[in-house]
């Protein structure tokens, strides 16, 4: 299975970003990619006021354009994430389109990125976004895959639930910043891949120091042994990688972590003093 992660530079308007995505997707398909992924919030600058400003309902113009691109190039498209309007609420939402253009999965970011690091990044997604509440797994010809968004990766319970639901690959549109990216990006992907014996695909925007939010970039692929098999730097580019899903089954058989879980004793109990 050949995948391509589009580490694109995000411009100021959805129109220009869709055009960038179209051009890069065309290159990825020409390069033989069967599954293509876009970054988190690829269609607008990563700023909380922009999310409701640029939000569209499911089935809107951007949704239709991405569906058409998947159908045109006969690929599976993990359509990054984009702001979704649902009544008075706005979600950070990722859609998955099949080669016929149908939407086969949808994930609303479950864990909102609310941080205030002394001397570092402050960002409050909850100022304009609502959290989702669904674990997302979908079927492909290569097996089941999981889907989550950026900050979701920091919560091991979510990755474990996707693995237990049969996921052999977890796809993560993301946008780590220059505070957390250097120390936690690769570590998080390697840890979740190792813990659950799955491939993890992380697609981030390219770094733009003229923007208000500086992405770490470094789109990444980690295998079920916890090894980084491919990674970009910070500039715009396409990351191609080959996934061997038989490797998932081999590693799970030889080192059966999931089967060795002690669910009979995994329980939080009151500690007596």
Residues designated catalytic = 40, 109, 150
Q: Could you tell me which residues come within 8 angstroms of residue 174 by beta carbon, excluding any fewer than 6 positions away?
A: 39, 40, 149, 150, 153, 202, 203, 204
Q: How many helices and strands (H and E) does the chain possess?
A: 6, 15
- Reduced to 3 states (helix: H, G, I; strand: E, B; else coil), residue 159 is helix
Q: What does residue 122 show for φ and ψ, rounded to 5 degrees? A: -120, 130
Torsion of CA 218, 200, 61, 69, to 10 degrees: 90
243 touches 199 (CB < 8 A)? yes
- In 3-state terms, what secondary structure has residue 182? helix
How far apart, in whole angstroms, are the C-alpha atoms of residue 127 and residue 110? Answer: 15
Q: How far is it, in rounded angstroms, from Cα 84 to Cα 108?
A: 9
């Amino acid at each position: 299975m050949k995948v391509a992660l589009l580490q694109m530079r995000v411009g100021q308007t959805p129109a220009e970003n869709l055009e960038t995505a179209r051009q890069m997707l065309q290159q990825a398909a020409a390069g033989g990619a069967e599954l293509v992924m876009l970054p988190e919030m690829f269609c607008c600058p990563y700023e909380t006021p922009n999310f409701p400003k640029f939000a569209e309902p499911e089935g809107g113009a951007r949704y239709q354009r991405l569906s058409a691109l998947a159908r045109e190039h006969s690929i599976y498209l993990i359509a990054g994430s984009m702001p979704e309007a649902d009544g008075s609420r706005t979600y950070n939402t990722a859609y998955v389109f099949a080669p016929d253009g149908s939407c086969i999965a949808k994930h609303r970011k479950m864990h909102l990125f609310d941080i205030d690091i002394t001397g570092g990044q402050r960002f409050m997604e909850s100022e304009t976004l609502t959290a989702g509440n669904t674990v997302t797994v979908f079927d492909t010809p290569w097996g089941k895959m999981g889907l989550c968004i950026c900050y979701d990766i920091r919560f091991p319970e979510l990755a474990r639930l996707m693995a237990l639901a049969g996921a052999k690959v977890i796809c993560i549109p993301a946008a780590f910043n220059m505070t957390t990216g250097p120390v936690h990006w690769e570590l998080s992907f390697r840890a979740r891949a190792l813990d659950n014996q799955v491939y993890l695909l992380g697609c981030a925007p390219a770094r733009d120091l003229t923007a208000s939010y500086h992405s770490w970039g470094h789109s990444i692929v980690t295998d079920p042994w916890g090894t980084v098999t491919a990674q970009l730097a910070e500039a715009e580019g396409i990351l191609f990688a080959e996934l061997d899903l038989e490797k998932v089954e081999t590693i799970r058989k030889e080192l059966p972590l999931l089967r060795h879980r002690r669910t009979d004793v995994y329980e939080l109990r009151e500690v007596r003093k």
